[in-house]
């Protein structure tokens, strides 16, 4: 049995990855402090996989508490999702972001080194490419022209991981996600942001369910076909599958030390107005919207080069954007039903 530690495993992407890994026969242990998730996710993961899951409630910024998890368990590899991810909050509270995200990664690396765990998959983001205007974004492009502390913290973690990998016999696959959307088809797990969503898809599903009145389309004067900005949306279950492929690759590696950064996207750009249409077709409901000014810091177009993921991980996203919109809406409806029954 291969034992995998998933930090941040009750979060949006971590929960889907935990399900896929359990279904593939891995023995999964989740570590999370519920900073941005709900303990009920553990039950819902267990409902999907049909068995119990190992869990430690731990804040990764506490080196002692994290080290106890390593002392009391055996791990062959780690997938490190734990981190704070709100761009706006990071601008207001940069220290909170540097402290949480960098300390967590440093503590994790120390414990892995101490307990001889030498395989790591790290959650990075397309945001590390910063203001690069050339698309598709290739892994060889320079990174670090970041525009907010969240993005800078991801860039810094990539640098730390690269240095530590070569100095201490560690094998790292850094995955740079584009825009994860969608939910598990069961409707049991999905994206459940606290407060008013910043991201497009959860905002749309909350407008569709009547929680929010209207979507603001941030700008229709970009140099794109319909004037709205373009992103590379990828179904979260496809993204989770990318982690499975990365773990498989790491477990097969003979190398004593390696660092590899790989994009996970579909490689297809979709505009905001196209996303609205796709949601409308997938749900049979209208998305009320108005066009407002551009959001500060937004790029006109961002999508991934996907050759490296295909060549090195044998990864290709399979699910359509329509499927992702249907699954997001299904999750939102299930979530609304559960919240209503609790009231
Ligand atoms: P999420 O907030 O849903 O999940 C992150 C999890 O980490 C949460 O469950 C949270 O409670 C936990 N966590 C945070 N700080 C912790 C700490 N100190 N100790 C223990 N647990 C802690 O986010 P997500 O969307 O699932 O993202 C997962 C990772 O992927 C994050 O690192 C994020 O920055 C990165 N990422 C996300 C996106 C996206 O659009 N969702 C895009 C690119 C990269
Ligand atoms: C944002 C973050 C990025 C992070 C990513 C996680 C910013 C500037 N960037 O990226 O660092 O890694 O989320 O998924 O916050 N839009 C609207 N109306 C809305 C919300 C969004 O028109 O209410 C538009 C945006 O202008 C953008 C697209 O929808 O063109 C996608 O936005 P979003 O989901 O926030 O993702 P990103 O901006 O790509």
Chain segment 171-221, per-residue pLDDT in tens? 999 999 999 999 999 999 999 888 899 999 999 999 999 999 999 999 999
How far apart are the CA of 192 and the centre of ligand 2, in A? Answer: 16
Domain extent for 72? 3-342
Ligand 1 pocket test, pick from 9, 13, 180 with the greatest ligand atom count within 8 Å of Cβ, gives 13
Look at residue 254 in the predicted model and tell me its pLDDT. Answer: 87
Q: Do you know the residue count of the chain?
A: 343
What would the two tokens of residue 211 be? 């929680």
How far apart are the CA of 243 and the centre of ligand 1, in A? Answer: 15
For residue 191, the ligand 1 atom closest to its alpha carbon is: 3
How far apart are the CA of 303 and the centre of ligand 2, in A? Answer: 13
Active site (annotated) includes residue 150 = yes
- Which residues lie closer than 8 Å to 296 by C-beta, 6 or more apart? none
Ligand 1 pocket test, pick from 32, 78, 84, 85 with the greatest ligand atom count within 8 Å of Cβ, gives 85
Tell me how far apart the terminal alpha carbons of the chain are, to the nearest angstrom: 42
* Phi-psi domain of 43 (left: phi exceeds 0; alpha: psi -120 through 50; beta: other): alpha
- For residue 243, give the H/E element and its range: helix 236-252
Look at residue 337 in the predicted model and tell me its pLDDT. Answer: 86
Provide mean pLDDT across the span 257-283: 97
Look at residue 343 in the predicted model and tell me its pLDDT. Answer: 61
Residue with tokens 């990864």: 315
* Residues pairing with 124 in the sheet: 176
Look at residue 335 in the predicted model and tell me its pLDDT. Answer: 87
Instruction: Say whether the peptide bond before residue 136 is cis (omega within 30 degrees of 0).
Output: yes
Q: Name which of 74, 37, 38 is nearest 54 in CA terms.
A: 74
- Is 103's pLDDT higher than 70? yes
pLDDT tens digits for range 189-203: 999 888 899 999 999
Provide mean pLDDT across the span 87-93: 95
pLDDT tens digits for range 24-82: 999 999 999 999 999 999 999 999 999 999 999 999 999 999 999 999 999 999 999 99
- CATH number for the domain including 157? 3.40.50.720
The pTM for the full model equals 0.98
Task: Domain count for the chain, please give it.
Answer: 1
How far apart are the CA of 99 and the centre of ligand 1, in A? Answer: 14
For residue 192, the ligand 1 atom closest to its alpha carbon is: 3
């Amino acid at each position: 049995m291969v034992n995998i530690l998933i930090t941040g495993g009750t979060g949006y992407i971590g929960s889907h990855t935990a399900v896929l890994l359990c279904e593939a026969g891995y023995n999964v242990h989740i570590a999370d402090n519920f900073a941005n998730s709900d303990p009920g996710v553990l039950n819902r993961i267990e409902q999907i996989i049909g068995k119990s899951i190992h869990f430690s409630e731990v804040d990764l910024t506490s080196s002692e508490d994290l080290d106890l998890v390593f002392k009391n368990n055996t791990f062959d590899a780690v997938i490190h999702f734990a981190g704070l991810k709100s761009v706006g909050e990071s601008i207001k509270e940069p220290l909170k972001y540097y402290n949480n995200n960098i300390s967590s990664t440093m503590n994790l690396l120390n414990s892995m080194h101490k307990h001889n765990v030498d395989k790591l998959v790290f959650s990075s983001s397309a945001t590390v490419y910063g203001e690069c205007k050339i698309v598709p974004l290739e892994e060889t492009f320079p990174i670090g022209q970041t525009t907010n502390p969240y993005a800078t913290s991801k860039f810094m973690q990539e640098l730390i991981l690269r240095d530590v990998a070569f100095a201490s016999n560690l094998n790292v696959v850094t995955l740079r996600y584009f825009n994860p959307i969608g939910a598990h088809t069961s409707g049991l797990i999905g994206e459940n942001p606290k407060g008013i969503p910043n991201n497009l898809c959860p905002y749309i599903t909350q407008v569709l369910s009547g929680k929010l009145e209207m979507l603001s389309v941030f700008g229709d004067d970009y140099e794109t076909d319909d004037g709205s900005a373009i992103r590379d949306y990828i179904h979260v279950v496809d993204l989770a599958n990318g982690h499975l492929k990365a773990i498989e690759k790491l477990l097969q590696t003979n190398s004593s030390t390696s660092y590899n950064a790989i994009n996970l996207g579909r490689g297809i750009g979709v505009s905001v107005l196209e996303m609205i249409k796709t949601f409308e077709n997938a749900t049979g409901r209208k998305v009320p919207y108005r066009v407002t000014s551009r959001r500060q810091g937004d790029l006109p177009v961002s999508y991934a080069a996907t050759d490296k993921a295909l060549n090195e991980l044998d990864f290709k996203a399979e699910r359509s954007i329509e499927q992702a919109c249907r699954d997001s809406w299904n999750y939102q409806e299930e979530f609304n039903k559960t919240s209503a029954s609790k009231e």
